Amino acid sequence: SQKIEQNSEALNIQEGKTATLTCNYTNYSPAYLQWYRQDPGRGPVFLLLIRENEKEKRKERLKVTFDTTLKQSLFHITASQPADSATYLCALPDPGNTGKLIFGQGTTLQVKP
Amino acid sequence: KAGVTQTPRYLIKTRGQQVTLSCSPISGHRSVSWYQQTPGQGLQFLFEYFSETQRNKGNFPGRFSGRQFSNSRSEMNVSTLELGDSALYLCASSITYNSPLHFGNGTRLTVT
């Protein structure tokens, strides 16, 4: 079955630095991968979608890469701010193309001023 | 456009009782998915509805059920509640399947 791995340990960085979060997956080649942000007590918010034929995608201070050979996606936040502190989740479509989205456990990012 | 609305926001129930949670999707979104989120298991897929039909179901017991109405609003029901059902239940809507999900802020269910 599909397995998604994100760093379970919290990532602590200093304001202004670049945060890099990792999402590794196994067992198949998804057509796309999504990243979401979740704040405590709230639902996840969609950030970016990257397709298998795209190496990189950017949105403001966010950048996502998708390496289908390594089966890995990297999520970067440049010039990080304390407001970026949250849990970031990666998600992939179910291998059976059912439309179901499978989420990783998420990585909590803490940006210190 | 209004976002996904889930009611109630918080719920406390006793073991053995049943509960119904409600979700109003974003206008124009026909797909509604439900997820259970717990600290140990993360986000677990419950089921997905499209045009009143359940298209997908996760690995949950039959005590968990749902439905979707003609206006795309959805409800999920949990019968014979167990302590382990305590979780944040999230509803998400999308224009179609394989589109990004728009989540509500969830219903926090506590079973005592």
Q: Which band of pLDDT confidence, cut at 50, 70 and 90, is reported for residue B33? A: very high
Token duo for residue B32: 């509604």
Span B74-83, average pLDDT: 98
Chain B partners within 8 Å of A89 (Cβ):
43
Q: How far apart are CA B22 and CA B89, in angstroms?
A: 10
Q: Which band of pLDDT confidence, cut at 50, 70 and 90, is reported for residue B40? A: confident
Residues 6+ apart with CB under 8 A from B23: B4, B5, B6, B32, B34, B73, B74, B75, B76, B91, B93, B104
Chain B partners within 8 Å of A43 (Cβ):
4, 90, 92, 103-106
Span B26-54, average pLDDT: 94
A8 backbone φψ class: left, alpha, beta (φ>0; ψ -120 to 50): alpha
Greatest Cα-to-Cα distance within chain A, rounded to the nearest angstrom? 44
Question: Which one is predicted more confidently, B96 or B53?
Answer: B53
- pLDDT in 10s for each residue of chain A, 113 residues: 678 999 878 999 999 999 999 999 988 889 999 999 999 999 999 999 999 999 899 999 999 999 999 999 999 999 999 999 999 999 999 887 677 899 999 999 999 99
What is the per-residue pLDDT for B2?
A: 85
Pairing of strands A107-112, A11-14: parallel
Q: Give the Cβ contact number of residue A113 at 10 Å.
A: 7
Q: Do B100 and A41 touch (CB under 8 A)?
A: no
- Nearest CA among A23, A38, A30 for reference residue A84: A38
What is the per-residue pLDDT for A103?
A: 95
Measure B53 CA to nearest chain A CA, in Å. Answer: 14
Instruction: Convert the pLDDT of each residue in B44-76 to its tens digit.
Output: 999 999 999 998 899 999 999 999 999 999 999
Q: Which of B101, B105, B106 is nearest residue A101 as measured by Cβ atoms? A: B101
What is the per-residue pLDDT for B5?
A: 98
End-to-end CA, chain B: 37
What is the per-residue pLDDT for A1?
A: 66
Q: Is B57 exposed, middle or buried (0-12, 13-18, 19+ CB in 10 A)?
A: middle
